[in-house]
Amino acid sequence: MKVTENKIYNPEIECMDRESLKKIQDERLKETVAHVYNNVPLYKKRMDEAGVKPEDIKGTEDLYKLPFTNKTDLRDEFPYGLLAVPKEEIVRIQGSSGTTGKPIVSGYTENDVEVWTEMVARSLVAAGAGKDDIVQVTYGYGLFTGGLGAHQGASRVGAVVVPMSSGNTQRQLMMMHDLGATMLCCTPSYAIFLGESLKEMGYDPKEFKLKSGCFGAEPWTEEMREKMEELFDINAYNIYGLTEIAGPGVAFECPAKAGMHINEDHVLAEIVDPATGEPLPYGESGELVLTTISKTGMPMIRYRTHDICTLDVTPCACGRTHVRMSRITGRTDDMLIIRGVNMFPSQIESVLLGIQGVAPHYMLIVDRVNSTDRLEVQVELTDAMFSDTVADIEKIQKKITDQIKSVVGVAANVKLVPPKTIPRSEGKAKRIIDNRGLTSK
């Protein structure tokens, strides 16, 4: 495997001693809290209810006093309720799946796009990027932050960007080969799919110039790393992010491959007990909670990511001092990521509730076949519908498939099953069987 040189985009900040870093964090946190208190009614209301005033927040040690923010707040305040600046200062909207029909969106000021770009630039440089690189961006371009995020970061580094967006495996490989791409940015499952398709399409892996890749937007494992590194003879690096905070680049792996450095001069990280919300010490597994401290458009205070991981603040071999988060080992909610698209079972439920002839009893079965996620949605027919003609039943099946595709954005294999065949549960309904084994490590 090629060796990645240990390069650091912004050594002054990324390797800053933690005492000086804390001073920056304290100042930025105080500013952010005052900014949201004065400009976002929801934050003011929450802080007033909790009896916290901006003056009570003197530094990161006071973070725990602030109320949490959740995805439901973004849904309830959709689209502009959480903006902390007038709309004319917003220059970009990006979005992701919400828990029901509507997406959640985030507004970015010029400053926010700049901060995000810097975070991605740091991530790509850590993975070896420089002016001489040709970066193939195979994340989707659009509301999803992956494509544009990676694009902006690669441009900042001065690399050649190839904005492929997602899909069309044949064309991806042809361009990668002919242009001599040296870095790949896409979801890890698609990277494996590309790697496996390469030989099938008659290419010799040695003819490719790829040396590394930044893979994220969905959970992956060490086994998947080994596979990607072997298929392409590259170094595979993890990159983490979420729309609400910025997009990819919130955290990234360095050549030590021992966790992802969180860009702590822009984002504060805590781990809390998902049940009680109590902060947990470094090293303990729990829910990641993030607070933006340089964003101005739509700052997020103590945002519950629902992602489960651990934090490690011990020194890293690369020289960076920023805290490292482990791989995401699971979610505290029922969000699934299918072929890089986030989805919630509640979205399927809302589709089913609008369709006559089916009961809102369903089961989602997720598998990975040839490195590609497959979603099967089993839906119960009502008694009345069960006795209908095959043609009628097929019509319903198509309707459900189409609506899932349009609401959730994922192609599903819909299977209609006889009434009362989906197991009923006495407690929380078990609606997901995920056979992908992504949460083992």
- In angstroms, what is the minimal distance from the CB of 297 to ligand AMP? 16
* CB closer to ligand AMP out of 54 and 149: 149
Residue 254 interacting entry, from Zn ion, ligand AMP, none, C-beta within 5 to 8 Å by type = Zn ion
Query: Which entry of ligand AMP, Zn ion, none binds 320, CB below 5 to 8 A by partner kind?
Result: Zn ion
**Can you read off the two tokens belonging to residue 305?**
């990511």
State the minimum distance, in angstroms, from the CB of residue 63 to ligand AMP.
20
Nearest distance, CB of residue 6 and Zn ion, angstroms = 9
Peptide bond before residue 79 is cis, with ω within 30 degrees of 0: yes
Q: Report in angstroms how near the CB of residue 318 gets to Zn ion at its nearest.
A: 3
Report the residue number, 184 or 337, with the smaller CB distance to ligand AMP.
337
Tell me the DSSP string of 327-388.
Answer: ---EESS--EEETTEEE-HHHHHHHHHTSTTEEEEEEEEEEEETTEEEEEEEEEEPHHHHTS
Q: How far is the CB of 261 from Zn ion (least distance, A)?
A: 6
- Identify what 73 binds: Zn ion, ligand AMP, none; CB under 5 to 8 Å per kind: none
Q: Output 6 or 382, the one with its CB closest to Zn ion.
A: 6
According to DSSP, the β-strands at 90-96 and 267-272 are unpaired
* Amino acid code (one letter) for 145: T
Q: What dihedral do alpha carbons 306, 213, 174, 202 form, nearest 10°?
A: -100
Q: Which is nearer to Zn ion, 254 or 366 (CB)?
A: 254
Of residues 96 and 182, the one with the C-beta less far from ligand AMP: 96
Strand-pairing partners, residue 433, are 365
When binding is defined by CB under 5 A, the residue of 83, 254, 262, 323 that contacts Zn ion is 254
* Residue 368 interacting entry, from Zn ion, ligand AMP, none, C-beta within 5 to 8 Å by type: none
Closer to ligand AMP by Cβ: residue 296 or 342:
342
Instruction: Give least dist CB 331 to ligand AMP, A.
Output: 6
Strands in 267-272's sheet, in edge-to-edge order, are: 279-280, 267-272, 286-292, 303-309, 330-331
CB of 281 to Zn ion, least distance (A): 21
Q: Which of 8, 24, 256, 429 binds Zn ion (CB under 5 A)?
A: 256
Closest CA to 102 of 122, 77, 123, 119: 77
**Smaller CB distance to ligand AMP: residue 93 or 175?**
93
- In whole angstroms, the minimum distance from the beta carbon of 184 to ligand AMP comes to 15
Helix H or strand E segment including 408: helix 390-408
Q: Does 260 bind Zn ion (CB under 5 A)?
A: no
Nearer to ligand AMP, 195 or 241 (CB): 241
Scanning 172-180, 230-238, 249-257, 360-368 for contacts with Zn ion by CB under 5 A, the matching segment is 249-257
Q: At what angle do helices 169-179 and 188-200 cross, to 10 degrees?
A: 80
Q: Which stretch binds Zn ion (CB under 5 A): 65-73, 256-264, 350-358, 375-383?
A: 256-264
Cα distance between residue 263 and residue 321, in whole Å: 10
Helix axes 222-232, 188-200, angle to 10 degrees: 30
Among ligand AMP, Zn ion, none, what binds residue 240 when CB lies within 5 to 8 Å by partner kind?
ligand AMP
What is the residue-wise DSSP string for 141-182? PSSSHHHHHHHHHHHHHTPEEE---S--HHHHHHHHHHHT--
- Which of the choices Zn ion, ligand AMP, none does residue 243 contact, using the CB cut-off of 5 to 8 A by kind? ligand AMP
Based on CB atoms, which residue is closest to ligand AMP, 337 or 404?
337
**Cβ closest to Zn ion, residue 133 vs residue 253:** 253
State the amino acid at position 277 in one-letter form: G
Residues written for the chain: 441
Q: Which of the residues 300 through 339 are near Zn ion (CB under 5 A)?
A: 316, 318, 320
CB-based contacts of 227, cutoff 8 Å, min separation 6: 192, 195
Q: C-alpha angle 295/141/193, rounded to 5°?
A: 120
- Smallest separation, CB 215 to ligand AMP (Å): 7
Q: How far is the CB of 323 from ligand AMP (least distance, A)?
A: 16
What 3-state DSSP class applies to 186? strand
Q: Where do contacts with ligand AMP occur on this chain (CB under 6 A)? A: 96, 145, 216-219, 238-243, 305, 307, 328, 337, 342
Report the distance separating Cα 101 and Cα 347, nearest Å.
6
Residue 219 near which of Zn ion, ligand AMP, none (CB within 5-8 Å, type-dependent): ligand AMP
| Residue 160 in tokens | 């050649």
Work out whether 33 is an interface residue with Zn ion (CB under 5 A): no
Binding residues vs Zn ion (CB under 5 A): 254, 256, 316, 318, 320
